[in-house]
Structure 1
């Protein structure tokens, strides 16, 4: 009897030990198993939004200064960029807004602007292949405040809000050969030029007929956009627009070329250089008699606040 009880106890002990070892092994296997995410639990980000703001300024005051100069001078330039990019499947929608404004005030010349631009670009694309989209484009560009040509004794109005303003609607192909480079090409585009200021309209400025406020042109359009971090501290953003009017001197291509370099000094401080080049065959305010087109050039260098968000 004792022998039987001993054998029975040994069997039960063996079974319990085996069951315990198996339970421990199952728990170890479950704890070491990789957790797999359900695809439904993973949210794909379809919007990418952000921008940057820069503010550069300088101020000087002189009193009894033998070398001469303005008693007081103040210069401020501000730049705001906002963007919102959408991407889902074969559909994409890029939106970009640039706003520039510069102000200069000195005792000798008074207050005047030295930079002024509102530029909104919206582009929808349908992917044909990884580097090529069928795309539609909308671009609007104008300025905020009145601009003048100054002489020693007078000033002449040259521009105003919505005078001029440019609107382009276009359908074409958008090519992306490398990252951050877009080349949009359209054989058929429509461009409107608006001159809402009555005095500028009466003078027939910006190619709009005298006393008219709108002019439409049909032509070919190309816009190239590129952004890059050239180094760990230097960034670049550039855009080149080309437009050829089929109905009037198509060989005289209108050019709008804007560039922005930013050098990061610290987390919020930077130095910036912007360079804009414009040629518009309809803008005939240059030459000896102020009746010829000309290449327009603007260069601004500054140091100050730069915040990205």
Structure 2
């Protein structure tokens, strides 16, 4: 399954290389994107300083299709990523996994003022494959659509220029899906867990598969030719009132040559419904009783082949 996903991203990349990258025959649509494949290896033999042999490979694909006509603006994007890493004696495990589809429609509040918009957004996120707590792959913590996030909302947006935008949606629904019943029964990602009778001999109700929240959503986005930063905040009006979910992503792509690039990516996440444990005793396993909401941070730095297509303008 893991290698099949990397093959899929490679095929997408190959298909992208062969397609026509010119604009469509109307001036209303602008399309484009990029894809990359990076690989690294560390091999050690009698290395006095210590360390572990390692192999890693990452594939990424991003594309957008935007339509601007009159007072209306429709923006669509897809981001796919998958990565594998092998360290020492452990088998390959995933290091990156993302499916993100988004569509947003905006309409100018005033035709003479192009900076304020009424807006509606739909954003869907999940991952391709199973994820485990440690490289030993003992305890499963995620799977396809476990979790899956669907955010739907409406509000107002302010776009002061083509690189910067802000959106506030006071009417937003956030739906968390946990369709892997094993994870749902465990109450992962905020859903209600399985309920047994007093002596745990009979199941009263299985774990819920969906958590629905209603609240306010804010997004700030900056994008230029080499750098993109996106901050997303959500707070519920009823469920976990007063807590703020945070998703902050930054991506930097520097061209060394036309095809060779240096990539840097960071992501910071905080979600009160995601409980994370720690390995305090260093035995490679997460200790019981240490799970609680924690700040998650990921950084990726690499050099690889990247191909861009279409008109690389603001999405």
TM range (shorter): 0.7 to 0.9
Aligned length: 260
For 2:48 and 2:291, how far apart are their aligned partners in 1?
43
Structure 1 counterpart of 2:158, from 175, 193, 198: 175
1:247 alignment partner, SS class: coil
1:223 offset after TM fit, Å? 1.3
Choose from 89, 102, 112 the match for 2:70.
89
Aligned to 1:214: 210
2:134 to 131, 135, 150: 150
Question: Shift of the alpha carbon at 1:218?
Answer: 0.3
Matches within 5 A, 1:1-309: 45-70=27-52, 72-128=53-109, 129-150=113-134, 155-210=138-193, 211-229=207-225, 235-286=226-277, 289-309=289-309
- The structure with the largest alpha-carbon Rg is 1
- Label 1:154 to 1:171 Cα distance change in 2 as closer, same or farther (>3 A): closer
TM superposition shift of 1:126: 1.0
Q: Which deviations, in whole Å up to 9, do the C-alpha atoms of 1:15-66 show, x marking residues without a partner?
A: xxxxxxxxxxxxxxxxxxxxxxxxxxxx750000000012111123344545
Query: What runs of 5+ residues in structure 1 fail to find an aligned partner?
Result: 1-42, 230-234
1:181 Cα deviation after fit: 1.2
Structure with more relative contact order (C-alpha pairs < 8 Å, separation 6 or more): 2
Q: Give, in angstroms, the shift of residue 216 of structure 1.
A: 0.4
Structure 1 residue aligned with 2:21:
none
The structure richer in helix per residue is 1
Q: Secondary structure at 2:146's aligned position in 1? A: coil
Structure 1 residue 249: Cα displacement: 3.1
TM-superposition CA deviations, 1:223-250 (whole Å, max 9, x none):
1222113xxxxx1112111000110333
Q: Displacement, 1:186?
A: 0.8
SS for the counterpart of 1:200 is helix
- CA pair 285-60 structure 1, distance change in 2 beyond 3 A: closer
Change (3 A) 1:133 1:154: closer
Alignment partners' CA distance in 2, 1:280 and 1:106 = 29
Deviation, 1:150, is 1.4
What is the CA distance between 1:68 and its match in structure 2? Answer: 4.4
Within 2, Cα distance between the matches of 1:278 and 1:272? 20
Give 5+ residue unaligned stretches, structure 2: 1-24, 194-206, 279-286, 310-315
